[in-house]
Amino acid sequence: MLALGVESRSRGGLFGPRLKSENKAKNAPASDQSWKCMYKSAPTGEVTIDDFEIFAKNRANLLHKIENWRAIGIIGEELSNKIRFEDEREYGGYHELIQSNKDCIAHNVLRLAYSKTEELRRFFVAQECALFEARLKVNPSDYDEIIKSNSIDVEQVSANEKQKYSAELSIMYRQLQMYNKELKIEMFDNARVWKTRFTNCLNLVSKRRVFVVDGYAYLFKTHLLNVISQQFRIVLAGRVNAALRFWPYLKESEGERVVPFLGAVTNYEVKYSEVDIKGGTVKPEMINTLSEQSFPLCMKVLHKSLRDKHHLKHQGRMQFGLFLKAIGLSLDDALRFWKDEFTKNQTSEHFEKNYAYNIRHSYGKEGKRTNYSAYGCTKIITGLAQPTSDDHHGCPFKNFNESSLKMEMRSKEFGDESIREVIELVQRKHYQIACRKYFDLTHPDFQEVSKETSRDEGMPFNHPNTYYQKSRQYHDNNKKETNVTK
Ligand code: SF4
């Protein structure tokens, strides 16, 4: 069991020291821990290690899905609907969610885990805000309560004040009514008006959606969502930055149980696109054709480099070797495959002495006999050392410069428009979406040809071996394809 919050005496529990200023929440009602109170209080009580891990993994899974939907251009109501569907599956309906200890624990665990780097913090804040906003949209009648319980700087204006600016406000209201169905049922005279300092809704101000006078922005109910969301973003960004300071305490008190898990959960792969990675049987003679047809670009690059230089450095050997193992290359065949290439530049004795052990080790036949798994995209993109000019590991969508990537795509005869789309995704750091786009361009009519029953909306695969399997499914069903030489 893990003691979570301020109830525990040993350093205040897992979230204790960091939330010192919030210790007044010791006897706080459960709602203070809820999303509606912006997770003001840390979760209290105890949780089993298993639940702790499952809650956090499932939340990470949800946040990655949100990121992927946004990256492929799903926005607005469509995005909110998708988020709410998954949210309900994980935490129950709106009312269960408000009381959900699970939601509070998951949020707080990930807030700690994702506090470690700037990139992780940015990811966490962006996806949590999208989740928060989707929840907010469910019940606008809760806005007053949310504003009050979070002391958000926004107040309803008096009838006199509304009257004073009625000319400007009624114009603004008519514009709103043009695209907001809900407002059509309410007359301007009945509509409530709020005001807040204009700095609390800069995005509304910049889009000229609100009327500003004397430093205050005047708003209608529909704008409150924006003001509340912005407040949540500010609060969350501050708390996730503060969480970073908690790591030294955590290492001291939970260095063995919790810290390794927190490190791993940020590398967690998205569940929905994981497939059981089952290799068929792959022989060394098949690898050239398979590489051409079905390897993702990261593995193609490693394979090409191996064939050109007859050598790969350690990280590249691990990334490529474990991928080959997962697609079905046996240990004996792996030894033969690597030896054939390496001994074009060195003696058999040198290979046996310096490399064969590592290959057997990666198949779990030496040392601790760990059966290592193939690396997923998250590990390849963020978890490996940045490649130097001599290295070829990593993800080309992240590591290639723009002209190399364009050259690669031109060699595949992609059109200018497609190349531009991939480059744009890369510039926005959506490497896995760019990779999926590359897959779709090299596997035309993928959905129909591969007889996929559920449409995946171009979601990224998240694992090079998933990319490979989907590609094999496509080519196996494509009768016009030439068979892979066996
Ligand atoms: S996104 Fe994943 S599969 Fe695609 S190239 Fe990068 S690491 Fe490889």
Residue 12: what pLDDT?
53
Q: Whose CA is nearest to atom 4 of ligand 1?
A: 435
468 lines ligand 1 (CB under 6 A): no
Cβ 238 vs Cβ 29: under 8 Å: no
Cβ 422 vs Cβ 412: under 8 Å: no
Distances (CA, A) of 6 to 40, 41, 455, 471: 13, 9, 46, 51
Residue 24: what pLDDT?
39
337 lines ligand 1 (CB under 6 A): no
Residues 6+ apart with CB under 8 A from 322: 362, 372, 373, 374, 375
Pocket residue to mutate for ligand 1, from 431, 438, 440, 463, most atoms within 8 A of Cβ: 431
Tokens read off for 42: 């840390």
Residue 394 Cα, ligand 1 centroid: separation in angstroms?
A: 8
Q: Which H helix or E strand runs over 84?
A: helix 76-91
How many H helices and E strands in the chain? Answer: 26, 6
Q: Is 217 helix (H, G, I), strand (E, B) or coil?
A: strand
CA-based nearest residue to 320, from 477, 55, 307, 332 = 307
380 lines ligand 1 (CB under 6 A): yes
Dihedral, CA of residue 117, residue 119, residue 125 and residue 131, to nearest 10: -120
273 lines ligand 1 (CB under 6 A): no
Count of Cβ atoms closer than 10 Å to residue 89 Cβ:
10
pTM of the model: 0.66
397 lines ligand 1 (CB under 6 A): yes
pLDDT tens figures, 314-358: 999 999 999 999 999 999 999 999 999 999 999 999 999 999 999
Tokens read off for 380: 């390849």
435 lines ligand 1 (CB under 6 A): yes
Residue 149 Cα, ligand 1 centroid: separation in angstroms?
A: 44
Residue 472 Cα, ligand 1 centroid: separation in angstroms?
A: 16
Check residue 192 and give left, alpha or beta (phi > 0: left; psi -120 to 50: alpha): beta
Cβ 317 vs Cβ 391: under 8 Å: no
Residue 477: what pLDDT?
83
Burial of 122 (0-12, 13-18, 19+ CB in 10 A): middle
Residues 6+ apart with CB under 8 A from 46: 1, 2, 3, 4
Q: Whose CA is nearest to atom 5 of ligand 1?
A: 298
3-state helix, strand, coil in the chain (%, to 5): 65, 5, 30
How far from each other are the two terminal CA atoms of the chain, in whole angstroms? 53
Q: Is 219 helix (H, G, I), strand (E, B) or coil?
A: strand
Residue 408: what pLDDT?
94
Distances (CA, A) of 407 to 117, 221, 309, 357, 416: 33, 51, 21, 37, 12
* Rounded (5°) CA angle 363-258-268: 50
Atom of ligand 1 nearest to the CA of 434: 1
Domain boundaries, the chain: 2-147+231-268, 149-224, 272-477
Residue 453: what pLDDT?
61
464 lines ligand 1 (CB under 6 A): yes
Residue 479: what pLDDT?
59
CA 246/CA 93 separation, integer angstroms: 33
Q: Which residues of the chain have pLDDT under 70?
A: 1-31, 71-72, 181-185, 267-280, 452-457, 479-486
Cβ 5 vs Cβ 16: under 8 Å: yes
Q: Whose CA is nearest to atom 3 of ligand 1?
A: 464
Residue 401: what pLDDT?
93
Residue 437 Cα, ligand 1 centroid: separation in angstroms?
A: 11
Cβ 219 vs Cβ 195: under 8 Å: yes
Largest interatomic CA distance in the chain: 92
CATH value of 2-147+231-268 in 1.20.930, 1.20.1050, 3.30.70, 2.130.10: 1.20.930
Sheet holding 194-197, edge to edge: 154-156, 194-197, 216-219, 211-213
Residues 6+ apart with CB under 8 A from 333: 282, 283, 284
Pocket residue to mutate for ligand 1, from 442, 467, 469, 471, most atoms within 8 A of Cβ: 467
Q: Quick one: angle between helices 118-136 and 101-113, nearest 10? A: 160
* DSSP per-residue letters across 276-345: ------B-GGGHHHHHHHH--HHHHHHHHHHHHHS---HHHHHHHHHHHHHHTB-HHHHHHHHHHHHTTT
Tokens read off for 216: 């205050």
* DSSP per-residue letters across 255-270: TTTTHHHHHHHTTPPP
pLDDT tens figures, 362-388: 998 887 777 788 888 888 998 788 888
Distances (CA, A) of 344 to 244, 290, 322, 338, 351: 50, 22, 22, 10, 11
CA 180/CA 79 separation, integer angstroms: 18
CA 382/CA 268 separation, integer angstroms: 12
CA 31/CA 39 separation, integer angstroms: 9
